[in-house]
Structure 1
Amino acid sequence: MTRVLFVCHGNICRSPMAEFILKALVAARNLEGSYYIESAAVSAEETGNPIYPPAKRCLTQHGVWFDPQKRARKVVPADYERFDRIICMDVSNLRLIRRIIPEDPEGKIHLMMSYTGVGRDVADPWYTGDFEQSFQDILEGCEAMLGIR
Protein backbone atom coordinates (compact mmCIF):
# COMPACT_ATOMS: atom_id res chain seq x y z
CA MET A 1 0.00 0.00 0.00
CA THR A 2 1.29 3.46 -0.91
CA ARG A 3 0.70 5.96 1.89
CA VAL A 4 0.52 9.58 0.68
CA LEU A 5 0.47 12.76 2.79
CA PHE A 6 -0.29 16.04 1.03
CA VAL A 7 1.00 19.18 2.73
CA CYS A 8 0.20 22.88 2.42
CA HIS A 9 0.41 25.85 4.77
CA GLY A 10 -2.86 25.54 6.70
CA ASN A 11 -4.47 22.26 5.54
CA ILE A 12 -7.72 24.02 4.64
CA CYS A 13 -7.31 24.62 0.87
CA ARG A 14 -4.73 22.92 -1.35
CA SER A 15 -3.72 19.85 0.65
CA PRO A 16 -7.28 18.71 1.45
CA MET A 17 -8.21 19.36 -2.19
CA ALA A 18 -5.31 17.12 -3.20
CA GLU A 19 -6.34 14.49 -0.65
CA PHE A 20 -9.85 14.19 -2.04
CA ILE A 21 -8.86 14.57 -5.71
CA LEU A 22 -6.38 11.70 -5.38
CA LYS A 23 -8.96 9.62 -3.46
CA ALA A 24 -11.43 10.19 -6.32
CA LEU A 25 -8.88 9.22 -8.98
CA VAL A 26 -7.89 6.12 -7.02
CA ALA A 27 -11.54 5.11 -6.51
CA ALA A 28 -12.31 5.58 -10.22
CA ARG A 29 -9.59 3.03 -10.97
CA ASN A 30 -10.65 0.59 -8.20
CA LEU A 31 -7.31 1.10 -6.43
CA GLU A 32 -8.64 2.02 -2.97
CA GLY A 33 -6.82 -0.92 -1.37
CA SER A 34 -3.53 0.26 -2.85
CA TYR A 35 -3.49 3.79 -1.40
CA TYR A 36 -3.89 5.45 1.98
CA ILE A 37 -4.23 9.23 1.59
CA GLU A 38 -4.25 12.09 4.12
CA SER A 39 -3.36 15.77 4.27
CA ALA A 40 -1.78 18.07 6.85
CA ALA A 41 -0.25 21.52 7.38
CA VAL A 42 3.18 22.94 8.10
CA SER A 43 1.52 25.56 10.33
CA ALA A 44 -0.68 25.11 13.40
CA GLU A 45 -2.71 28.28 12.80
CA GLU A 46 -5.70 26.48 11.20
CA THR A 47 -5.59 23.32 13.36
CA GLY A 48 -9.08 22.00 13.95
CA ASN A 49 -10.68 24.10 11.23
CA PRO A 50 -12.72 22.58 8.37
CA ILE A 51 -11.89 22.80 4.69
CA TYR A 52 -12.25 26.42 3.53
CA PRO A 53 -15.72 26.95 1.94
CA PRO A 54 -14.46 28.05 -1.51
CA ALA A 55 -12.29 24.91 -1.67
CA LYS A 56 -15.36 22.81 -0.81
CA ARG A 57 -17.34 24.57 -3.55
CA CYS A 58 -14.63 23.91 -6.11
CA LEU A 59 -14.48 20.21 -5.23
CA THR A 60 -18.28 19.99 -5.40
CA GLN A 61 -18.37 21.73 -8.79
CA HIS A 62 -16.03 19.05 -10.11
CA GLY A 63 -18.00 16.20 -8.55
CA VAL A 64 -15.24 15.34 -6.08
CA TRP A 65 -16.55 13.99 -2.78
CA PHE A 66 -14.93 15.29 0.41
CA ASP A 67 -15.41 14.38 4.05
CA PRO A 68 -17.29 17.27 5.70
CA GLN A 69 -15.76 16.19 9.03
CA LYS A 70 -12.19 16.73 7.75
CA ARG A 71 -10.28 19.03 10.11
CA ALA A 72 -6.88 20.64 9.67
CA ARG A 73 -3.92 19.13 11.47
CA LYS A 74 -0.22 19.88 11.58
CA VAL A 75 2.50 17.57 10.29
CA VAL A 76 4.33 15.78 13.11
CA PRO A 77 7.75 14.06 12.94
CA ALA A 78 6.09 10.61 13.18
CA ASP A 79 4.44 11.26 9.80
CA TYR A 80 7.78 10.51 8.16
CA GLU A 81 7.50 6.87 9.25
CA ARG A 82 3.74 6.67 8.58
CA PHE A 83 3.88 7.82 4.93
CA ASP A 84 5.74 6.74 1.81
CA ARG A 85 5.31 10.07 0.02
CA ILE A 86 5.02 13.50 1.60
CA ILE A 87 3.98 15.92 -1.12
CA CYS A 88 4.27 19.67 -0.58
CA MET A 89 2.29 22.19 -2.60
CA ASP A 90 5.04 24.82 -2.80
CA VAL A 91 8.65 25.65 -2.01
CA SER A 92 7.64 27.49 1.17
CA ASN A 93 5.90 24.33 2.46
CA LEU A 94 9.02 22.34 1.59
CA ARG A 95 11.21 24.75 3.55
CA LEU A 96 8.88 24.72 6.57
CA ILE A 97 8.48 20.94 6.62
CA ARG A 98 12.27 20.69 7.03
CA ARG A 99 11.81 22.31 10.46
CA ILE A 100 9.46 19.48 11.44
CA ILE A 101 11.18 16.65 9.56
CA PRO A 102 14.79 17.81 9.16
CA GLU A 103 16.11 14.67 7.46
CA ASP A 104 14.74 12.82 4.42
CA PRO A 105 17.06 9.80 4.07
CA GLU A 106 14.46 7.82 2.09
CA GLY A 107 13.67 10.63 -0.37
CA LYS A 108 9.98 10.74 0.55
CA ILE A 109 9.44 14.52 0.46
CA HIS A 110 8.55 16.00 -2.94
CA LEU A 111 6.94 19.03 -4.55
CA MET A 112 3.56 18.29 -6.12
CA MET A 113 4.36 19.72 -9.53
CA SER A 114 7.63 17.75 -9.71
CA TYR A 115 5.53 14.78 -10.85
CA THR A 116 4.54 16.77 -13.94
CA GLY A 117 8.08 17.79 -14.81
CA VAL A 118 7.15 21.44 -14.30
CA GLY A 119 9.27 23.42 -11.86
CA ARG A 120 6.62 25.57 -10.21
CA ASP A 121 4.36 25.71 -7.18
CA VAL A 122 0.70 24.73 -7.05
CA ALA A 123 -1.20 28.02 -7.27
CA ASP A 124 -2.19 29.23 -3.79
CA PRO A 125 -5.88 30.23 -3.78
CA TRP A 126 -5.57 31.83 -0.35
CA TYR A 127 -3.84 34.75 -2.06
CA THR A 128 -5.24 34.56 -5.59
CA GLY A 129 -8.82 33.48 -4.90
CA ASP A 130 -8.48 31.25 -7.97
CA PHE A 131 -9.52 27.85 -6.65
CA GLU A 132 -10.07 26.56 -10.18
CA GLN A 133 -6.39 27.07 -11.07
CA SER A 134 -5.37 25.29 -7.87
CA PHE A 135 -7.76 22.44 -8.69
CA GLN A 136 -6.29 22.07 -12.19
CA ASP A 137 -2.69 22.14 -10.86
CA ILE A 138 -3.52 19.51 -8.25
CA LEU A 139 -5.42 17.33 -10.72
CA GLU A 140 -2.46 17.47 -13.12
CA GLY A 141 -0.05 16.51 -10.33
CA CYS A 142 -2.23 13.66 -9.05
CA GLU A 143 -2.75 12.27 -12.54
CA ALA A 144 0.99 12.42 -13.21
CA MET A 145 1.69 10.69 -9.89
CA LEU A 146 -0.66 7.85 -10.89
CA GLY A 147 0.83 7.71 -14.40
CA ILE A 148 -2.42 8.85 -16.06
CA ARG A 149 -0.88 11.82 -17.91
Structure 2
Amino acid sequence: MFQKILVVCVGNICRSPTGEYLLKNLLPNKQVDSAGIASEISKLVGKPADSMATTVAAEHGIDLTPHGSRQLTEAMAAEYDLILVMEKGHIDAVCSIAPAARGKTMLFGQWVGQKEIPDPYRQSREAFDFAWSILEESAAAWAKKL
Protein backbone atom coordinates (compact mmCIF):
# COMPACT_ATOMS: atom_id res chain seq x y z
CA MET A 1 0.00 0.00 0.00
CA PHE A 2 2.54 2.61 1.11
CA GLN A 3 5.73 1.75 -0.76
CA LYS A 4 7.15 5.26 -1.21
CA ILE A 5 7.38 7.47 1.89
CA LEU A 6 8.61 11.06 2.02
CA VAL A 7 9.64 12.62 5.35
CA VAL A 8 9.42 16.43 5.42
CA CYS A 9 10.59 19.23 7.73
CA VAL A 10 11.65 22.84 7.11
CA GLY A 11 15.27 22.75 5.94
CA ASN A 12 15.77 19.00 5.46
CA ILE A 13 18.95 18.92 7.55
CA CYS A 14 17.84 17.85 11.08
CA ARG A 15 14.50 16.17 11.65
CA SER A 16 13.51 14.82 8.23
CA PRO A 17 16.85 13.17 7.40
CA THR A 18 16.85 11.58 10.86
CA GLY A 19 13.29 10.32 10.33
CA GLU A 20 14.16 9.15 6.82
CA TYR A 21 17.13 7.05 7.93
CA LEU A 22 15.29 5.66 10.95
CA LEU A 23 12.48 4.46 8.67
CA LYS A 24 14.94 3.13 6.07
CA ASN A 25 16.51 1.06 8.84
CA LEU A 26 13.13 -0.25 10.06
CA LEU A 27 11.49 -0.67 6.64
CA PRO A 28 14.23 -1.91 4.29
CA ASN A 29 11.69 -3.02 1.65
CA LYS A 30 10.21 0.46 1.23
CA GLN A 31 11.56 3.55 -0.51
CA VAL A 32 12.01 6.32 2.05
CA ASP A 33 13.33 9.78 1.20
CA SER A 34 13.14 13.28 2.67
CA ALA A 35 12.79 16.90 1.63
CA GLY A 36 12.28 20.36 3.10
CA ILE A 37 9.47 22.85 2.67
CA ALA A 38 11.97 25.75 2.81
CA SER A 39 15.31 24.21 1.77
CA GLU A 40 15.62 26.45 -1.28
CA ILE A 41 14.77 29.74 0.44
CA SER A 42 17.11 28.80 3.32
CA LYS A 43 19.90 28.07 0.81
CA LEU A 44 20.28 24.54 2.20
CA VAL A 45 19.76 22.50 -1.01
CA GLY A 46 22.57 19.96 -1.30
CA LYS A 47 23.84 20.58 2.24
CA PRO A 48 24.59 17.60 4.48
CA ALA A 49 22.62 16.78 7.61
CA ASP A 50 23.35 19.08 10.56
CA SER A 51 26.52 18.01 12.40
CA MET A 52 24.73 17.57 15.74
CA ALA A 53 21.93 15.55 14.11
CA THR A 54 24.62 13.40 12.47
CA THR A 55 26.41 12.92 15.81
CA VAL A 56 23.24 11.95 17.71
CA ALA A 57 22.16 9.54 14.95
CA ALA A 58 25.63 7.95 14.79
CA GLU A 59 25.54 7.33 18.54
CA HIS A 60 22.37 5.29 17.88
CA GLY A 61 23.84 3.39 14.93
CA ILE A 62 22.28 5.48 12.14
CA ASP A 63 24.50 7.04 9.46
CA LEU A 64 23.24 10.36 8.06
CA THR A 65 26.40 11.13 6.05
CA PRO A 66 24.91 10.18 2.63
CA HIS A 67 22.18 12.84 3.06
CA GLY A 68 21.87 16.01 0.99
CA SER A 69 19.04 18.51 1.53
CA ARG A 70 16.32 18.71 -1.14
CA GLN A 71 13.50 21.17 -1.73
CA LEU A 72 9.99 19.69 -1.76
CA THR A 73 8.26 20.24 -5.10
CA GLU A 74 4.76 19.49 -6.32
CA ALA A 75 6.13 16.85 -8.72
CA MET A 76 8.14 15.22 -5.92
CA ALA A 77 5.11 15.11 -3.61
CA ALA A 78 3.09 13.40 -6.36
CA GLU A 79 5.63 10.54 -6.51
CA TYR A 80 5.05 9.40 -2.90
CA ASP A 81 2.25 7.37 -1.32
CA LEU A 82 2.69 8.90 2.14
CA ILE A 83 4.19 12.20 3.31
CA LEU A 84 5.16 12.52 6.97
CA VAL A 85 5.69 15.96 8.53
CA MET A 86 7.06 17.11 11.88
CA GLU A 87 4.49 19.73 12.91
CA LYS A 88 0.79 20.32 12.22
CA GLY A 89 1.64 23.58 10.43
CA HIS A 90 3.80 21.64 7.99
CA ILE A 91 0.68 19.94 6.60
CA ASP A 92 -0.55 23.31 5.32
CA ALA A 93 2.94 24.18 4.06
CA VAL A 94 3.17 20.91 2.09
CA CYS A 95 -0.32 21.50 0.68
CA SER A 96 0.55 25.03 -0.40
CA ILE A 97 3.36 23.50 -2.50
CA ALA A 98 1.37 20.42 -3.54
CA PRO A 99 -2.40 20.81 -3.00
CA ALA A 100 -3.11 17.24 -4.13
CA ALA A 101 -0.96 15.88 -1.27
CA ARG A 102 -3.50 16.81 1.44
CA GLY A 103 -5.00 13.34 1.81
CA LYS A 104 -1.67 11.55 2.10
CA THR A 105 0.14 13.95 4.46
CA MET A 106 0.27 13.03 8.15
CA LEU A 107 2.32 13.75 11.26
CA PHE A 108 5.47 11.69 11.77
CA GLY A 109 4.28 11.49 15.39
CA GLN A 110 0.77 10.35 14.36
CA TRP A 111 0.83 7.06 16.29
CA VAL A 112 2.44 8.41 19.47
CA GLY A 113 -0.31 10.80 20.51
CA GLN A 114 -0.04 12.98 17.39
CA LYS A 115 3.15 14.47 18.82
CA GLU A 116 4.83 17.33 17.03
CA ILE A 117 8.62 17.12 16.82
CA PRO A 118 10.26 20.44 17.74
CA ASP A 119 13.03 21.78 15.52
CA PRO A 120 16.41 21.40 17.26
CA TYR A 121 18.27 23.47 14.62
CA ARG A 122 20.87 25.78 16.22
CA GLN A 123 19.81 24.62 19.68
CA SER A 124 21.49 22.60 22.44
CA ARG A 125 22.54 18.96 22.34
CA GLU A 126 19.56 18.29 24.63
CA ALA A 127 17.18 19.63 21.96
CA PHE A 128 18.66 17.18 19.44
CA ASP A 129 18.42 14.30 21.94
CA PHE A 130 14.77 15.20 22.64
CA ALA A 131 13.93 15.35 18.91
CA TRP A 132 15.74 12.02 18.40
CA SER A 133 13.69 10.34 21.14
CA ILE A 134 10.37 11.37 19.55
CA LEU A 135 11.58 10.51 16.04
CA GLU A 136 12.75 7.07 17.17
CA GLU A 137 9.49 6.33 19.01
CA SER A 138 7.43 7.60 16.05
CA ALA A 139 9.44 5.65 13.46
CA ALA A 140 8.92 2.43 15.43
CA ALA A 141 5.18 3.13 15.60
CA TRP A 142 5.01 3.76 11.82
CA ALA A 143 7.00 0.58 11.16
CA LYS A 144 4.36 -1.41 13.08
CA LYS A 145 1.50 0.23 11.13
CA LEU A 146 3.12 -0.21 7.73
Superposition TM-score, scaled by structure 1 size: 0.85
**Aligned-partner residue type, residue 19 of structure 1:** E
| Paired residues of 1:41 and 1:73 also in contact (CA < 8 A) | yes
Q: Once the two structures are superposed, what CA deviation does each residue of 1:88-114 show, in whole Å capped at 9, x if it has no partner?
A: 011232221121012336x21101111
Question: Using the alignment, how far apart are the partners of 1:139 and 1:69 within structure 2?
Answer: 19
| Paired residues of 1:24 and 1:65 also in contact (CA < 8 A) | no
User: Alpha-carbon deviation of 1:127?
Assistant: 5.8
How many residue pairs end up in the alignment?
Answer: 139
Q: Which residue of 2 is the match for residue 29 of structure 1?
A: none
- Which runs of 5 or more residues in structure 1 are unaligned? 27-31
* Match status 1:94 vs 2:86: no
| Paired residues of 1:18 and 1:138 also in contact (CA < 8 A) | yes
Runs of 4+ in 1 over 4 A off after TM superposition: none
Q: Which residue of 2 is the match for residue 17 of structure 1?
A: 18
Q: Which residue of 2 is the match for residue 63 of structure 1?
A: 61
Report the aligned-residue RMSD: 1.7
Q: Which residue of 1 is the match for residue 135 of structure 2?
A: 138
Secondary structure in 1 matching 2:110: helix
* Match status 1:126 vs 2:121: yes
User: Alpha-carbon deviation of 1:79?
Assistant: 2.0
Question: Using the alignment, how far apart are the partners of 2:122 and 2:109 within structure 1?
Answer: 19
